[in-house]
């Protein structure tokens, strides 16, 4: 029976990234009637990665799109039901959990929350107005539009460095703007960035405004240590400052930390029995595809144990 026709399941999984798909593989193999709800493209943020080099089993690397496709194919093989809808809330109804969506309500005895996180915004003037007009959050998606043009990347973690390295294949110059005096990225990525001649670094610097009428033309910058202000001419700016958990629909249902992440134990259990969380949405997640997949498997196994009690 399809997800459209059926409303009750053993397990509902919210989110179709590596955590959710891995959970779906495990619950479906356990012969639990399982539904995965995803609001966008199945595969999650991993689909934005041009090449995933650190996922075990792919010695030559694998594109994020292909990795997501293979996970979905494997989950479907074991009978996982998938529907595209946005989750708007969760409620408890006796011994069942009600998952409210834009396609109606679904109920389950156990829920695995794996809706991940989304890229953070700067919140500076011009960012919203020029999004899609030079302001971007995905180098894999938009780098070809900036061939032989100067661009900036804002951030200092793994995501920012990965974006900068990808942009260096297309742009004439990549200026990485970071509010601290050192990177937070892993050493191997830092080494790659330092050895890439197209990448330049602006330390202790923040973007105060993004200028441009129809497209990005300039960034207004401020040096944090000296207070000196300057302007930087660029054709585009890629925001890579971190992630915000997709937990807005959980407020009032689950306790969240001050930034919105879900607290779990090592069994992926939340404060509510039968409700689990996996992947980037968890507090202190490593935010890696392979650890998210492990979280999903752990949550699924413990959901199966919960249902057997």
pLDDT confidence band for 120 (50 / 70 / 90): confident
Residue 14 within any structural domain of the chain: yes
Is residue 1 situated within a structural domain? no
Q: How far is CA 50 from CA 10, 129, 166, 193, in A?
A: 35, 27, 8, 17
**What's the pLDDT band for 75 if we cut at 50, 70, 90?**
very high
CA distance 182 to 167: 20
Report how far apart, in Å, the C-alpha atoms of 112 and of each of 30, 98, 169, 244, 300 are.
15, 12, 39, 19, 8
In this structure, is residue 3 part of a structural domain?
no
Judge if 185 and 204 occupy the same domain. yes
**Domain with 84 in it: what CATH number?**
3.50.50.60
- Confidence class for position 1, pLDDT limits 50, 70, 90: very low
Q: How far apart are CA 189 and CA 117, in angstroms?
A: 22
pLDDT of the residue at 119: 81
Q: Are residue 50 and residue 85 in the same domain, yes or no?
A: yes
- Termini Cα distance of the chain: 26
- Give residue-wise pLDDT tens across range 51-63: 788 899 999 989 8
Instruction: Look at the chain and report how many structural domains it folds into.
Output: 2
Active-site amino acid positions: 138, 141-142
What's the mean pLDDT when you consider all of the chain?
A: 93
Structural domain including 72 reads: 8-118+243-308
Which stretch of DSSP H or E encloses residue 51? none
Does the pLDDT at position 288 exceed 90?
no
Percent of the chain clearing pLDDT 70 (strictly above): 98
- What band does 49 get if pLDDT is binned at 50, 70 and 90? confident
Query: Looking at the predicted structure, is the pLDDT value of residue 50 above 90?
Result: no
Q: Where are the beta strands (DSSP E) in 131-186?
A: 135-136, 150-154, 173-177
- Helix (H), strand (E) at residue 64: helix 64-77
Q: Is 2 within the bounds of a domain? A: no
Q: What is the pTM of this model?
A: 0.77
Torsion of CA 127, 240, 221, 146, to 10 degrees: -70
Q: What is the pLDDT of residues 215-250, one digit of tens each?
A: 999 999 999 999 999 999 999 999 999 788 999 999
Q: How far apart are CA 309 and CA 291, in angstroms?
A: 27
Pairing of strands 81-84, 34-38: parallel
Q: Are residues 156 and 301 in the same domain?
A: no
- Which H or E run contains 309? none
């Amino acid at each position: 029976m399809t997800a459209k026709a059926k409303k009750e399941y053993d397990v509902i999984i919210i989110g179709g990234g590596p955590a959710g798909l891995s959970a779906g593989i495990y619950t479906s193999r356990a012969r639990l009637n399982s539904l995965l709800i995803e609001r966008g493209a199945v595969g999650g943020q991993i689909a934005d990665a041009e090449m995933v080099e650190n996922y075990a089993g792919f010695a030559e690397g694998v594109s994020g799109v292909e990795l997501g496709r293979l996970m979905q194919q494997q989950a479907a093989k074991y009978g996982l039901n998938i529907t595209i809808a946005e989750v708007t809330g969760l409620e408890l109804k006796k011994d069942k959990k009600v998952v409210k969506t834009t396609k109606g309500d679904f109920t389950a005895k156990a829920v695995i929350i794996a809706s991940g996180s989304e890229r953070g915004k700067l919140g500076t003037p011009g960012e919203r107005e020029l999004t899609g007009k030079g302001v971007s959050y995905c180098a894999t998606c938009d780098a070809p539009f900036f061939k032989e043009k100067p661009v900036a990347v804002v951030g200092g973690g793994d995501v920012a460095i990965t974006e900068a390295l990808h942009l260096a294949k297309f742009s004439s110059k990549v200026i990485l703007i970071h509010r601290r005096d050192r990177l937070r990225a892993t050493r191997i990525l830092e080494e790659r960035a330092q050895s890439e001649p197209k990448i330049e670094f602006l330390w202790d610097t923040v973007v105060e405004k993004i200028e441009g009428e129809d497209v990005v033309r300039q960034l207004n910058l401020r040096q944090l240590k000296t207070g000196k202000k300057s302007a930087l001419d660029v054709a585009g700016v890629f925001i890579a400052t971190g992630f915000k958990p997709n937990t807005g629909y959980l407020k009032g249902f689950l306790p969240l930390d001050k930034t919105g992440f879900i607290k779990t134990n090592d069994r992926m259990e939340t404060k509510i029995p039968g409700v689990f969380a996996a992947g980037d949405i968890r507090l202190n997640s490593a935010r890696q595809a392979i650890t998210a997949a492990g979280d999903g498997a752990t949550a699924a196994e413990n959901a199966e144990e919960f249902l057997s009690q």
